[in-house]
Chains A and B, each alone.
Chain A
Amino acid sequence: MRKPWQPQQPRDWWLHNPAYRRYMLREATALPLMLYTLLLLAGIFQFSRGEVAFAAWLSWMQTPAALLLQGIALAAALLHAVTWVALVPKILVIDSDRLRIDPRQVLRAHQLGALAGNLGLVVATLWLLWPAGGA
């Protein structure tokens, strides 16, 4: 007589294995990134309402709560960027009779692209601040 034991996945399955904890941390980056995106959206709304509202948003972004959220979001964004780029060559595989690109090249291209994109944006912001801020 067969009477197999049917295991049930426990609700806290992801706590019991380091690989699952890393996965959940990667997925959890979405929460601070969503909140940060909502901050940005609020910034666009305030921007559309005019100079005074925009200035208020800028100074609100300097409050401790907003700075804390931005700090967590920055850490999340870095973790997201590193884990995302690492997975790209496993998903984006260009390998046909006509065109084949080495997965290491795909990885390298995305690493360089992410580096250039992020650093370029920071440099552009500093450049924008110079004349506008009158510092």
Chain B
Amino acid sequence: MGTIELVATRYRPEQDVQPWEQRYTVPCSEDMSLLDALNYIKDELDPSLSHRWSCRMAICGSCGVMVNGEPKLSCKTFLRDYREAGVVQVRALDNLPVERDLVADISGVVEHIEAVKPWLIRHSTAPVDTAHTQTPEQMARYHAFSQCINCALCYAACPQFGRNPAFLGPAALTLAQRYNLDSRDEGSSERMPWLNAEEGVWSCTFVGYCSEVCPKDVDPASAINRGKVASDINYGVNLFRLLRGKSDA
């Protein structure tokens, strides 16, 4: 078992004015994930290093960090893939406030996600006798978009979110599409104003990097750009309404 150099960007709000880099030497074996290495540092070398993690199996979405400039889940990233690079540079997710060390504050992202009402909306609240049935084809329409684990890697990958944090961003707009495309949902009219806004789908320029970094193959870039088509049609329909003297929707 060899070793590998790990450079972590530290930021301790109590004493630091700005982030700085600290170098560690960690064991590097075939089956060691970056999360294992960070836990090794925390347990054996430097208990002051802060990082977030929980499930170790790419489903909780807690352990996102930048690894050699790319947003990744540390539990799904293996040291063996960095032997050639010789060094693993780790810092908190880009485009987000850094709470401490490798911990990015994703509360803004969570607010964006909540804004688009990512749940099934029904007009009638009365209980139904039969289940809301759905064919496999209808489910396939949104299934990939429902795999999001809110890890915010796509926000770290999105230069438009970095440019303008008011942009709802990849995960929120993907979840809006996920529910708009669900045959059981009746709430798209409540979500369309968010899609239609400047801070909605129209801040996206299809950089496409969000889809490259997504650990669950959600393809947010596709979801957002399909949202543009939906918003485009919505704009035309609304224009037609206005021309006929009806109110702005």
Residues of B within 8 A of A91 (CB): 222, 225-226, 228-229
Q: Given A16-B69, A19-B209, A91-B222, are A5 and B159 neighbors across the interface (CB < 8 Å)? A: no
A17 within 8 A of B: yes
User: With A14-B159, A19-B212, A20-B207 in contact, is A97–B13 under 8 Å at CB?
Assistant: no
Tell me the bound Cα distance from A9 to B13 in angstroms: 20
Q: Contact check, B138 vs A97: say whether CB atoms are below 8 A apart.
A: yes
7 CB contacts below 8 A, A to B, read A1-B13, A4-B97, A4-B98, A7-B97, A17-B209, A23-B205, A90-B222
Question: Chain A residue with minimal CB distance to B223?
Answer: A90
A29 to B159, CA, bound (A): 19
Q: Chain A residues with Cβ under 8 A from B159's Cβ?
A: 9, 13-14, 20
> Taking the complex as formed, is A95 at the interface, i.e. its CB lies under 8 A from any CB of chain B?
yes
10 A-B pairs with the lowest CB-CB distances in the bound complex, closest first = A4-B97, A3-B13, A90-B222, A5-B98, A9-B162, A91-B225, A19-B209, A23-B207, A5-B11, A4-B99
Confirm or deny: B105 has a beta carbon within 8 angstroms of a beta carbon on chain A. yes
In the bound complex, residues from chain B placing their C-beta under 8 Å from that of A132 are none
Cα A7 to Cα B212 with chains together (Å) = 23
Residue pair B222, A5 in contact (C-beta under 8 Å): no
Contact of A101 with B by CB under 8 A = no
